[in-house]
Structure 1
Amino acid sequence: MSRRVVCWRHGRTTWNVEHRFQGHTDIPLDEVGIAQAQRAASLLAALRPSMIVSSDLRRAADTAGMLARITGLPVTTDKDLRERGGGEWEGLTRDQIAERWPREYAAWEAPGGEDVSDVADRVSGAIRRWAAELDPDGLLVVASHGAAIRLGIARTLGLPENLWSALGGLGNCSWSMLEEGRKGWRLLEHNAGTLPEPVSSDDTPEAAEDAP
């Protein structure tokens, strides 16, 4: 028996559609995002999760709430599962960012924003902390955000930072599953739950372009 963690990205928002950097800005799900969360929740409920933990931002918390309604489990919020802070980029489109900050855009480092290593540390720390609360065969569902999940998974797997780009982005309401093995955590599936779709998130342009 082994602990498993489902890292579940929130449903779509209007800022996803407009390709705006959301970061810590508290944007709600749009109608499509609500429907995505309902559909994904019905699938994830079949896994019989033991615990649901979410970012405190409502696009993630409301996504988690769809699963809570089906399973009867409570949702615990954790600020460490928030998206990467975007500093001066929050609310701006990718085109606006590229035009105003070409050097920073190329490095995907927002003025006043969070460093990727810091995000990886806090998200991975939260995943490990909550997973430690599980029974040996328990399943934790973590509702979070595109860049936060990818970076947290990379750190949890122990990947060196120069290989983090090998993990592609996640579509809205798609998920990845981690399992704790004898030699540490391993990735069982990534960006699952739907057929491949274009990724629009606060993750790097390269991660978004990996999807068709």
Structure 2
Amino acid sequence: MSRRIVCLRHGQTLWNVERRFQGHSDIPLDETGIAQAARAASLLASLRPTLIVSSDLQRANDTALALGRLTRLDVHVDKDFRERGGGQWEGLTREEIAARWPKEYADWEAPDGETVQDVAERVGSAMRRWAAKLDDDGLLVVASHGAALRLGICDLLGLPEELWPALGGLGNCSWSVLQEGRKGWRLLEHNAGTLPEPISSDDKPDAEV
């Protein structure tokens, strides 16, 4: 065995349902999200994780704590796993954003928000930093956010930026699994844990299905 990372997106929030950009806004899980976190925890506990770390935002941290309770592992918090900052878009719906900033919406670049390049580097670097703490057969679970995880995975895999759109988004409480090999990290599973379903997150619209 070699080191692995499970990238777990947080459970559903009311803003997910309303298709509002969350970004750094600290929005809690709704009742469905709490149930999703419990279900994901029951499945991921069977993988016997050795280290759990989460974003400092409560929707991700509460998702991680559900797994921590089952595995009796502490949940470490790292703000580098936060969602992509949405600047002036936070709290607004897709329709509101498109109406007010049509050009920026087409490019999915929020005024005063983080760039995809900055988020990819931030999250990818954090994944490497925490993975370095694992034993050779250790399993790290990162509880984070849709856009942050997708971009961090692209960075960890060393994908050129023009190929980043090829990786689709993550559903609430779905996960991706990466494994370290002799030539670097590789993606074993993506958006696992549920049957395909609509995805609502802060990621680019074309990353959703």
TM-score (norm 1): 0.98
In structure 2, the residue corresponding to 1:65 is in which secondary structure? helix
Secondary structure of the residue aligned to 1:114 is coil
How far 1:45 sits from its partner (Å)? 0.1
The 3-state SS of whatever aligns with 2:24 is coil
* Structure 1 gap segments, 5+ residues each: none
Q: Which secondary structure state, in structure 1, belongs to the residue aligned with residue 172 of structure 2?
A: coil
For residues 84 and 122 of structure 2, the distance between their equivalents in structure 1, rounded to whole angstroms, comes to: 10
Letter in 1 for 2:107: A
User: Residue 205 of structure 1 aligns with which residue?
Assistant: 205
Displacement of 1:170 after TM fit? 0.3
The count of corresponding residues between Structure 1 and Structure 2 is 209
* Identical-pair percentage: 76
Q: What is the Cα deviation at residue 115 of structure 1?
A: 0.6
Tell me what 1:60 maps to: 60
Q: In the alignment, what sits opposite 1:69?
A: 69
Q: Which amino acid aligns with 1:152?
A: G
RMSD: 0.4
2:162 paired residue number = 162
1:162 partner letter: E
Q: 1:87-109 CA deviation, whole Å, 9 max, x = no partner? A: 00000000000000000000000
Q: Which residue of 1 aligns with 2:11?
A: 11
1:90-169 mapped onto 2 (5 Å cutoff):
90-169=90-169
Task: Give structure 1 regions of 4+ aligned residues with deviation exceeding 4 angstroms.
Answer: none
Q: Distance in 2 between matches of 1:79 and 1:177?
A: 21
CA distance, structure 2, for counterparts of residue 28 and residue 100 of structure 1: 27
Residue matched to 2:25: 25
Name the amino acid aligned to 2:18: E
Gaps (5+ residues) in structure 2? none
State the alpha-carbon separation in 1 of the partners of residues 131 and 203 from structure 2: 24
Tell me, in whole angstroms, the C-alpha distance in 1 between the residues paired with 2:198 and 2:101: 24
* Distance in structure 1 (CA, Å) of the matches to 2:177 and 2:126: 15
Provide the residue aligned with 2:35 in structure 1: 35
